[in-house]
A and B are shown apart, each in its own frame.
Chain A
Amino acid sequence: MSHTEYLDMFIEESQEHIQAINVHLLELEKQPEDETIIGEIFRSAHTMKGMAGTMGYDDLTNVTHALENVLDQMREKTRLADAETMDVLLEAADIAEEIVENIASGGDGKKDIQAITAKLLGKSTQSETALKTEKTKSVAMDWNEYDQAVIAQSVDSGMQAYTIQVVLEEHAMLKAARAYMVFEALEADGYVIKSVPEASDIEAERFDNEFTVAVVTAAAKEEVVSRIASISEIGEVLAEEIELGSKTENRESSEKPTVPVEKETSAPERKRADTNKTIRVNIDRLDKLMNLFEELVIDRGRLERISEEIRSSELTETVERMSRTTGSLQEIILHMRMVPVDQVFSRFPKMVRSLSRDLGKQIELEVIGAETELDRSIIDEIGDPLVHLIRNSIDHGIEMPEKRRQNGKPEEGHVELRAYHSGNHVYIEIEDDGGGIDRERVLKKAVENEVIAAEDADALTDYDIHQFIFSAGFSTVDKVTDLSGRGVGLDVVKNTFESLGGVISVHSEKGKGTKFSIQLPLTLSIIDVMLVDVGQEHYGLPLTSIVETASIKSDSIFYVHKRKMIDFRGNIIPVMFLEDVFEVPVAREWDRENYSVVVVHKGEKMAALVVDSFIGQQDVVLKSLGHYLRDVRAISGATILGDGNVALIVDTNALL
């Protein structure tokens, strides 16, 4: 693996750890006594420290080290998780994040960290002595409080802790390599807590002929021993269970494994079933897999066409079976690219915390459905617009505490961030219980910006007017704050979601609150379309936007304001001829009596698109028209049909 690959991995993992630290710090703020949370944070900080050390980013190493110290003290109750400590910890996490960002953008990861380490140490020095005396001696190793907690916890969850002394053969040639194999064997179903000498020394072959490791594992002692003994050049293996006699609170748990035998064997198995084995795969490889699969889908379409023409039952059967298999394959591949929205959501609680402080507001952010999955390529894009929307809710939505009290609301504002999956879409909603959108102000602004004419305003519903906040140059807050209202408006947010094939709308009730709803496609690359003919050309209409297909009589069309309309199930909706929209060359010798229409919708709006005929429904691979044709009106991309020709996919949202 090259250095850059290591670097990528380092950056990615560090980002994950920082995210985890942030999330856990916020949890800790709510449950300051919870040791498991402290343990989680410690683990992330510790891993980061290790990685940063290996990569030679000293400042990051030092920050994470200082962070670790504070956590240690918290665990030993020599330091409390009070507001001040939490602030310092969050600040440290911020700084660690800045360093990682710097590294990610090609920097050297250097940063002045004196201030923060001093702050972290600030309270810690006085308690340093207390820390030392607590330490207890155990079998062959020193266990600090943290080790003890890890051991006790593992034992609680049905694992076993051993110290294992490994003696290499006298003339072992590859000492470091053997040691590495031992570590690897142990880490197959457990993990090494510590070793004497330290792992880095062992790696560098700075040890004589033996070393000792402490390990927690799901495997039985004999199994561990025999596994290590089977590695060549290993002389002797001695394993011993770790007893944590000194701590009373652990007494109960350390007794557990000594009770019945079944417990010992059943527990590890349950544990194994719970742990998902995962591997990291470069996203490029998944993209390549996806591309190859897309080729396969195109060929599948071709085969289906051929088998229809040839009408051999054997061929048809085979093709059908292949279609089913590729269908399952498609699902698996799409799922491989899915990641939980938590990747984006997890940074919000902290953001809300600091923003609401800055503004002097009290806000509670509730996140629901963070496990909902979305295609990776979509996840990558939605972070910034969501930040914008949440800031919007906090800055413009939630009122100041006094005002909320006056209005008979609880002082603490509530913002709910929800994600859920329904049909072929994922929905993300941001709902606040703030002041809501002021119809009159939006209307005034809309008239000012010439979005609508003043005389048309009365005909509009509140819902229609609220959607104006997505138009360009819209910010109803007169005073520009640091947060939102900086000119980068909701129109940018809207455009971003729409470029992902999404739809955004806002519902608001004055005095009660505002809800932004975003509908996103599960994936960008394979979509279900209805293929239609217009003149000699084929077009695909995304199935998700189709309400139904119908045939209408030509004389049922009437005109409103010179626009063609029909009455569709009680709704008056516009009729558009795709041949006009797309300037399709058509030579007709007679007028049609009936029109084939596809009724499409965008939110609550509908329209009937007139086509020549329906070809049928098909799964197609959505391809872009390339870099040089980015903005073709009402076309979202193209697909390759079974016969090798290209059909354009209509962006029906642009027509409505």
Chain B
Amino acid sequence: MTEENAVKKVIIFRLEAEEYGVEVSYVQSIERMQNFTRIPNAEKSVRGVINLRGVIIPIIDLRKKLSYEEVSYTEETRILILALEGNHAGLIVDAANDVMDIFESEIGAPPQAMSKEEQMYLKNVVKKENRVFTLLNVYAVAESLDTASV
């Protein structure tokens, strides 16, 4: 397989009206919103931790992290459980509804005109047919929990 044909499988999720993507290889599962335990004095986007089959996983409100307005959770709200080299974190998103193959040629430059901090969390803009979405830098999001803690 050449560079040009290299394909990535991504999960598409929604925040407000925008679409984002995460490589399938980072996602362990997609869960419905569930009870969580608040973590005091943690970084502001950390909603708390959940017990997922015996593993305690911090969950991050991605709206908060990416400076969207906070809304209450709905039936469609999902938690994307990430497994990054054995370390877990969950992302709360408005909805996750699609899996898509993308090609190297469809992956564009990083998005512009954003705050430096937010830019860090985003990798590339993907244009596929008539859809445009942003690939999330999941490592940056997850790692930010520790350094940014208050």
**Chain A contacts to B: CB under 8 angstroms:** 294-295, 298, 537, 581-584, 623-635, 638, 640, 644-648
Please pick, from B46, B51, B89, B143, the residue contacting A640 in the complex, using a CB distance under 8 A: B51
Residue pair A582, B41 in contact (C-beta under 8 Å): yes
Smallest beta-carbon distance B70→chain A, Å: 16
Please pick, from A295, A630, A633, A634, the residue contacting B54 in the complex, using a CB distance under 8 A: A295
Residue pair B37, A625 in contact (C-beta under 8 Å): no
Please pick, from A295, A537, A583, A638, the residue contacting B56 in the complex, using a CB distance under 8 A: A638
A581 to B54, CA, bound (A): 27
A563 to B79, CA, bound (A): 42
Q: Which residue of chain B lies nearest to A641 when distances are taken between CB atoms in the complex?
A: B51
Cβ of B42 within 8 Å of any chain A Cβ, yes or no, is yes
Q: Which residue of chain A lies nearest to B53 when distances are taken between CB atoms in the complex?
A: A295
Residue pair B41, A638 in contact (C-beta under 8 Å): no
Collect the chain B residues with CB atoms within 8 Å of residue A635's CB: 39-40
Residue pair A632, B40 in contact (C-beta under 8 Å): yes
Residue pair B146, A648 in contact (C-beta under 8 Å): no
Pick 12 A–B contacts, CB within 8 A, sort by A: A583-B41, A623-B56, A626-B55, A626-B57, A626-B89, A628-B58, A628-B145, A631-B146, A632-B39, A640-B54, A646-B51, A648-B40
**Chain B contacts to A: CB under 8 angstroms:** 35-42, 46, 49-51, 54-58, 87-89, 142-143, 145-146, 149
Collect the chain B residues with CB atoms within 8 Å of residue A537's CB: 37-38
A640 to B35, CA, bound (A): 13
A629 to B54, CA, bound (A): 17
A362 to B27, CA, bound (A): 61
Collect the chain B residues with CB atoms within 8 Å of residue A584's CB: 40
Interface SS of chain A: loop
Question: Which 9 residue pairs spanning A and B have beta carbons closest together?
Answer: A582-B40, A627-B87, A646-B37, A628-B145, A633-B41, A629-B58, A640-B51, A628-B142, A623-B56
Most buried by A among B40, B58, B87, B89: B40
Collect the chain A residues with CB atoms within 8 Å of residue B88's CB: 626-628
A625 to B60, CA, bound (A): 13
Collect the chain B residues with CB atoms within 8 Å of residue A630's CB: 146
Smallest beta-carbon distance B101→chain A, Å: 29
Residue pair B40, A626 in contact (C-beta under 8 Å): no
Asked if A628 meets B143 with Cβ closer than 8 Å, knowing A638-B37, A640-B56, A648-B37, the reply is yes
Q: Which residue of chain A lies nearest to B48 when distances are taken between CB atoms in the complex?
A: A646
Collect the chain B residues with CB atoms within 8 Å of residue A295's CB: 54
Residue pair B87, A625 in contact (C-beta under 8 Å): no
Collect the chain B residues with CB atoms within 8 Å of residue A632's CB: 39-42, 149
Q: Which residue of chain A lies nearest to B141 when distances are taken between CB atoms in the complex?
A: A628
A623 to B54, CA, bound (A): 9
Smallest beta-carbon distance B69→chain A, Å: 21
Q: Which residue of chain B lies nearest to A582 when distances are taken between CB atoms in the complex?
A: B40
Residue pair A583, B39 in contact (C-beta under 8 Å): no
Asked if A583 meets B40 with Cβ closer than 8 Å, knowing A628-B89, A628-B142, A631-B149, the reply is yes
Residue pair B37, A647 in contact (C-beta under 8 Å): yes
Asked if A626 meets B56 with Cβ closer than 8 Å, knowing A584-B40, A640-B51, the reply is yes
Known: A583-B40, A628-B143. 13 other contacts (CB 8 A): A295-B54, A537-B38, A583-B41, A625-B58, A626-B87, A628-B87, A628-B146, A629-B42, A630-B146, A631-B149, A635-B39, A646-B51, A648-B39
A298 to B55, CA, bound (A): 12
Residue pair A629, B46 in contact (C-beta under 8 Å): yes
Residue pair B42, A624 in contact (C-beta under 8 Å): no
Residue pair A294, B49 in contact (C-beta under 8 Å): no
Collect the chain A residues with CB atoms within 8 Å of residue B149's CB: 629, 631-633
